[in-house]
Amino acid sequence: MEYSIRNCELSDIPKLIVLCQKHAEFEKADFSSNGKEEKLKEALFHENPKLFCLVVATKETIVGYVSYTFDFSTWDAATFMYMDCLFLEPEARSFGIGEVLIDKLKQIAIEKNCIHIQWQTPQFNERAIKFYNRIHGKGKDKVRFTLDL
């Protein structure tokens, strides 16, 4: 499969939203595209972005993405990268693209003086868990909560 990895561009936003919806469906989560285009544009392309995103691009379209933010750990008194989403279309899986994306994140995190990268995945996502174990990710037993506002 021929592809490139690049920063998300403004013209990618509509397809990024479709990929987000597919990702949410895969994770059995609710998703609404209402207002997402403007909110993602603001988060990604503001003078001081809150969100960063790399896309996996083919000649025709984008077939995957990884999004991330930077946060600060009180316990470590240091900055870390949080990988919010990593998703590939089914036809883009099994080509090593996920590992290339993680390597790109590692490079960025090192450049930004991060101490580590954090992420999460549902317990039922066995394929992802196997992948994360293979790249030496360390799982922690925690329960994630959300509080709707």
For the chain, what are the domain ranges? 4-135
Low pLDDT (below 50) residues in the chain: none
79 alpha-carbon distance from chain centroid: 18
pLDDT digits (tens, 9 = 90+) for 8-38: 999 999 999 999 999 999 989 999 999 999 9
pTM of the model: 0.88
Is the CATH number 3.40.630.30 carried by domain 4-135? yes
- SS3 call for 100: helix
